[in-house]
Structure formats: structure tokens, C-alpha cells
Amino acid sequence: MTISNDKFADIRPYNDDEVAASVSRLLNDDAFISVIAEHNLPSWLRAIPFLGNYLVKSKLRNKYGKLKTVDEVQQAVARYLEILVKRTTSKVTFSGLDKLDKNKAYLFISNHRDIALDPAFVNYGLFQSDMKTVRIAIGDNLLQVPYMTELMRLNKSFIVKRSVKSPKEMLKTLTTLSHYIYDSLDTGNSVWIAQKEGRAKDGNDVTDPALIKMLQLHGRKLKMDFADYVKSINVVPVAISYEFEPCEKAKAKEQYHKATFGEYKKAQGEDIASIIEGFATNKGHVHLSFGEPISDNCETPEQLAQTIDNHIHANYFLHPNNYLAADKAAEQISDDAKRVYQSRFDGVAPELHEFIKQIYAKPVLNQK
């Protein structure tokens, strides 16, 4: 792997001169080819792996083998997202994008419901509005296999090193991360980061002040007042709402295990399985509400976190499932919508029902 010698080399996305080599590594990665084959080929062809994998590799090479720049990769991702939207959503809508300046870089902080789809839909909205796509913060827990590292860094993702344990190394890592985010914004590159580590598996979208403290580290180095630093990085809250919550049953299972046994341990490869499930399943109507850059005089990380939460809670688009789960305005909801909501529980173990209901109900309660 060839990465230019720079201070962010081990966390940043690939540059144009690294794209072709990364694509080549991907197309020659047997594990990657096998995953694509497993989820895209008919069963009879999967039963003949050498033939199926050969066909997949040939098709991918013809389609993507000539990609040489980050922009070409983004164009390919946009085409894939168009297909994804048509196959797995009833519609995707946006609000607030018209109030953003196409020539400015923003730090988009959103709620977190799906590992890969959340930033993908943010990018989809920006792409539709003729704005530059974002650099995406991802945890190193997702990089368990080489092809995931290639995919993520090709798609403008930078790495958040969550696996670092010692306090000294953690401070160094977070300081570098804070600097990288500031440097990205300062050079005209927007950034997406989730409001906290991990998805909101209980439906409760809350910003972790620790995230804000990380962002502040570079501001301290610049000796900037916190409120002024916040304004300089153009923080834009984003509320992402799925009609049908991605991986809802898996989230409910995890919440049940935590409530019953006190903890939940992920299986090897579970995050990758969640990414694949999120892409494949029906999400219904997806709405993203983009706020305006926060200009309030937030004096502390806690105040900024609360300001972000206020936007996400107030502007979260509520679907019939949300109202029904919270037992609100049920008389105004059609019988068809009620049947769709009840179908969310078909074939689901009874002990998980309340946890699924909570996922949908919490945004309504937060708005109140």
C-alpha cells in the first residue's frame, strides 16, 4: 500500500494517485469477490464458486477497473445510490439544503441509525444539490478485513481509532483527529460525523459531549474561545429519519440482551453483516433535515451537544410507525399504515416487541 508521507497518512482517505492501486487490490481480493457473489448471484451460480467468482470479478473489472480519481469513485457511488434508492426506498426527501452555501465547507453532525447509509444519504442529498460530498468519519472497528479498509478509504472515509487503549495514545489520536477535521474544513472539504459512537439502537438520538470535546482539541491548540471555534467550523445538525428502521430486529435483540444479561458481545463480522442488511432491506420513506450552521453562543461542549439535540429532535420527520408506537394520533392514521406497523412484529420473538416499539416511539417522545 502506497500512502504519501503526511501527518494524516494513517487515517485519511485515499488521494487521486492512490485510487487505481486500491481498486486493483479490491478486484484481486478473493474475500471481497466472494461477498459480492454471495449477495448478488442466483443460488445455482453460487453453488459453483469458481465460475460465480470469475463472473463477478470480470463484471467488476469492466465496470470499475478504470477508476483513477476520487471524483470518479464518487460518481460511481452516486450511480449505485440511485439504484439503491429505487430498490429499497419508497422515496428519499430532504429539507434545509437550499439554505446552505454551495461554496462553503460544513461539519455535518447527524443522528446515527445505520452504519453506512446515514452518511450515504447525506452525500446523496449533497450530490443532488450540486454540492461536494463529505469526508466520512468511521470507527476502526469496521476495518476488520482488508477489503473494508479499501472500500471505506476509497469512499472518502477517514479513520477514528477507537481501539487505542492507553490514555496517552488516546489523547494523541484524538488530537490528530481533531486537527484532521479542522484541516479538512479549512481546505474546503465538508465532513460527516455521527453524534455519538455507535448507532442509537434504542431510538434515542443524543449527542455525546465527548465528541464535542474531541472537536475542541484543535481549537485549544489555536487558543480560540470555544464559542468562536464552534462558529468557525460551521456545525450543521442533520436529522435522519427512516420509515422502516434498518436492522431493527438486531437492534432490539441487542437491547434485550443488555437489559436481561447486562451486556451484549458482538459476533465477529457482525458490523459488516449490519452494513449489508442495511443496504438490502426496505427502508420506506427516508427524510433528512439539514439545519443551518449553529451560530448560538455555545460556551461549553454540553451546550453545543444540547443545541444539536434540539435540532435533531425538533426536525426529525415522524412517520406513521412513530406515532403508532408512541400511541399518538392513531385515529388520524390509515388502516393500511396500521397494518404495515403491525407487520414489523410478524415472526419476531415476543420479548423483542417492546424494544422494537421503543425504537419508533422515542423520536415522538423527544419532540414533546
Residues 6+ apart with CB under 8 A from 211: 109, 193, 195, 196, 197, 305
Per-residue pLDDT at 46: 87
pLDDT number for residue 4: 43
Mean pLDDT of 278-282: 95
Average pLDDT, the chain: 95
Which residue is listed with cell 433535515?
Answer: 289
Instruction: Choose between 164 and 244: higher pLDDT.
Output: 244
**What are the residue ranges of helices labelled H in 109-225?**
117-128, 146-154, 167-186, 209-221
Classify residue 35: in a domain, yes or no.
yes
* Residue-level pLDDT at 268: 86
pLDDT per position as a tens digit, 236-272: 999 999 999 999 999 999 999 999 999 998 888 899 9
| Cell numbers placing 122 | 447525506
Q: Band the pLDDT of 13: cuts 50, 70, 90.
A: very high
What single DSSP character describes residue 217?
H
Is residue 310 a part of any domain in this protein?
A: yes
Q: How large a percentage of the chain has pLDDT more than 90?
A: 90
Lowest model confidence (mean pLDDT) among 103-107, 122-126, 244-248, 267-271: 267-271
DSSP 258-318: HHHHS---PPTTHHHHHHHHHHHS--EEEEEEE-PPP-S---SHHHHHHHHHHHHHHHPPP
Q: Examine the pLDDT at 27 and tell me if it is beyond 70.
A: yes
| Neighbouring C-alpha atoms within 13 Å toward the C-beta of 187 | 8
Is residue 34 domain-resident?
Answer: yes
Question: What digits encode the pLDDT tens for the residues 199-248?
Answer: 999 999 999 999 999 999 999 999 999 999 999 999 999 999 999 999 99
The total domain count for the chain is 1
Q: Work out the average pLDDT over 296-320.
A: 96
Q: Residue 80 pLDDT > 70, yes or no?
A: yes
- Residue 92 half-sphere exposure, CB side, CA atoms within 13 Å? 23
CA neighbor of 115 nearest in space, from 240, 269, 272, 289: 272
**Comparing C-alpha atoms, which of 322, 304, 368 is closest to residue 109?**
304
**CA 49 to CA 151: how far, in whole Å?**
23
* Domain annotation covers residue 331: no
Whole-prediction pTM:
0.94
pLDDT at 165: 87
CB-CB contact of 190 with 134 (8 Å): yes
Tens-digit pLDDT profile for residues 38-57 = 988 888 888 899 999 999 99
CATH number at residue 200: 3.40.1130
Which residues does residue 89 pair with via DSSP β-bridges, in sequence order? 284
Q: Does residue 128 surpass a pLDDT of 90?
A: yes
Percent helix, percent strand, percent coil in the chain, to nearest 5: 55, 10, 35
- pLDDT above 70 covers a percentage of the chain that reads 98
* pLDDT confidence of residue 358: 97
Instruction: Tell me the torsion sign for CA atoms 188, 292, 162, 306.
Output: positive
Q: Classify 237 as helix, strand or coil.
A: strand
| Residue 68 belongs to a domain | yes
Q: Is 134 exposed, middle or buried (0-12, 13-18, 19+ CB in 10 A)?
A: buried
The answer to whether 296 and 306 are in contact (CB under 8 A) is no
For residue 2, what pLDDT is reported?
A: 40
Alpha helices in 187-247 (DSSP H): 209-221, 226-232
Q: Residue 244 domain-assigned?
A: yes
Q: How confident is the model at residue 3 (pLDDT cuts 50, 70, 90)?
A: very low
User: Would you say residue 5 has pLDDT above 60?
Assistant: no
Residue numbers of the domain that contains 274: 16-317
Mean per-residue pLDDT, 270-278? 93
Q: Is residue 271 part of a domain?
A: yes
Compute the distance between CA of residue 96 and CA of residue 194 in angstroms, rounded to an integer. 19
Residues 161-187: what's their mean pLDDT? Answer: 95
